[in-house]
Each structure stands twice: as structure tokens, then as C-alpha cells.
């Protein structure tokens, strides 16, 4: 591994549990593999393009084998730049808080921007989809304030991990390791879970 892309989906900065666990991972990685270049993509920094009418039209033009209009070409160039940044990494670290039982909308936006034919996936009418982002590893940190595995549905349901794990594998990334700190608010003492998550991050970084 020479390049790691950290995709940071929390806007909470130093107050973020997912980012704190990610920083533990990165600190150990810097010690274990000092030559690795880390690119941190803060999805809240304004660099993520929208996927609007021109980009959608550009996508379907590709399906139809048609030429792009100038507006579609400009929108598609932004899509391609986002994908190129994603695809340039050898491995990924995702820090993902749970929002309303799922993932933050900016992470869904990234997925919708880069999940394009010929980039993230190929498609055959008979065989279906084929992931094109292959030979890479991902470590995903999942946090939530209230939801926890085995808790009553009154405390929430999990559309966070099943969705992102499935998308990664659909894209061709089969080597996925997960670290969880769920829940981290609606419990009497969150510290044991916090310590376990940071320990898991240190161990994952040593295996990276």
C-alpha cells in the first residue's frame, strides 16, 4: 500500500467519535508504514460535485453511446475528477457516523457521483453488474449514538453498515474490515465500547 484515502463523513470535527477512531488508526499506520501517503477527503469541504440534470444526462448518453453536450461534458468532467481521486488510492478508510439509521447524505452523494458505468462498475444485460474497483482493501468505522446490535427496534435499525458494505462489494472491494462503536450515547457507560473500538483501530492499522 502506497496511498490510503480517508473518506471522512462526519462534520463534527474534534467532537466526532468516528473521526477520533480514524485518527487512532492513522497514527498507528504512520508508525507502522511511514511511507504511506494519506489523502483525507473531508466530504464537507465543498469539493464534492453535485449530480444534477447534466450529469445524469451524461450518464445516460454513455449508456446510449451518444456524444455529450458541452454542459454534459463539463458535468461529466467533475464526476470523472471525483472518481479519479477515489480510484487513485490503494486502500480506503471510511469514518461513518449513523444518521437517521443510515449514512450521512454527503457519503451517499459521493457514492452517487462516482458510481458510474465504466468507472465503478460494468454491466452486461445477461450477466448483470461487475465491480471494477478491484484489488483494494477498505477499513470502515461505523458509529452511532443510539442504535446498537441486539437492541430493541425502538432504539433504531441498521441501514448504515448493510448499505455501505454492500456498495463496497458491488464496486469490487471484497476485502472489508469493520470497526464499530455503537451505541456511544444512549448507554450508561460508553467507555468500554470506546476503548474497544480504538483498540480495534490500532490492530487494523498494524495489519494494513
**Does 74 have pLDDT greater than 90?**
yes
Average pLDDT, the chain: 96
Binning pLDDT at 50, 70 and 90, where does residue 186 land?
A: confident
Q: For residue 98, which of 168, 18, 187, 169 has the smallest C-alpha distance?
A: 18
Q: Tell me the C-alpha distance between 29 and 208, whole Å.
A: 8
Neighbours of 45 (CB within 10 A): 11
Binning pLDDT at 50, 70 and 90, where does residue 35 land?
A: very high
Alpha helices in the chain (DSSP H): 17-32, 53-64, 70-87, 105-114, 161-171, 191-207
Q: Tell me the C-alpha distance between 206 and 25, whole Å.
A: 9
Domain that holds residue 123: 3-207
Quick check: helix, strand or coil at residue 65? Answer: coil
Q: Tell me the C-alpha distance between 91 and 162, whole Å.
A: 20
The least confident of 32-36, 59-63, 72-76, 109-113 is 59-63
Counted domains in the chain: 1
The least confident of 60-64, 102-106, 110-114 is 60-64
Q: Tell me the C-alpha distance between 138 and 160, whole Å.
A: 16
- Sign (positive or negative) of CA dihedral 80, 82, 84, 87: negative
Burial class (CB in 10 A: 0-12, 13-18, 19+), 195: exposed
Full-model pTM: 0.95
Report the percentage of the chain scoring pLDDT > 70.
100
> Rounded to a whole number, what is the distance in angstroms from the first to the last CA of the chain?
8
**Does 63 have pLDDT greater than 90?**
no
What pLDDT, in 10s, does the model give residues 111-130?
A: 999 999 899 999 999 999 99
The position carrying cell 473518506 is: 7
pLDDT at 70: 93
pLDDT at 151: 92
CATH number at residue 171: 3.40.50.360
**Does 78 have pLDDT greater than 90?**
yes
Omega of the bond leading into 183 within 30 degrees of 0 (cis): yes
Amino acid at each position: 500500500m502506497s496511498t490510503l484515502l480517508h473518506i471522512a463523513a462526519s462534520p463534527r470535527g474534534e467532537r466526532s467519535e468516528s473521526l477520533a477512531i480514524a485518527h487512532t488508526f492513522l497514527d498507528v499506520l504512520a508508525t507502522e508504514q511511514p511511507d504511506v501517503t494519506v489523502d483525507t477527503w473531508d466530504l464537507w469541504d465543498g469539493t464534492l460535485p453535485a449530480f444534477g440534470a447534466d450529469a445524469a444526462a451524461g450518464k445516460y448518453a454513455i449508456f446510449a453511446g451518444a456524444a455529450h453536450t458541452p454542459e454534459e461534458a463539463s458535468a461529466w468532467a467533475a464526476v470523472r475528477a471525483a472518481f479519479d481521486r477515489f480510484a487513485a488510492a490503494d486502500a480506503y478508510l471510511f469514518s461513518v457516523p449513523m444518521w437517521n439509521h443510515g449514512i450521512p447524505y454527503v457519503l451517499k452523494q459521493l457514492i452517487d457521483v462516482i458510481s458510474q458505468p465504466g468507472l465503478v462498475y460494468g454491466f452486461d444485460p445477461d450477466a448483470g453488474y461487475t465491480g471494477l474497483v478491484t484489488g483494494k482493501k477498505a477499513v470502515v468505522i461505523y458509529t452511532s449514538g443510539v442504535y446498537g446490535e441486539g437492541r430493541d427496534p425502538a432504539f433504531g435499525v441498521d441501514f448504515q453498515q448493510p448499505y455501505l458494505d454492500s456498495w463496497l462489494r458491488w464496486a469490487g472491494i471484497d476485502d472489508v474490515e469493520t470497526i464499530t462503536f455503537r451505541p456511544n450515547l444512549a448507554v450508561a457507560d460508553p467507555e468500554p465500547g470506546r476503548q474497544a473500538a480504538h483498540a480495534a483501530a490500532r490492530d487494523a492499522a498494524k495489519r494494513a
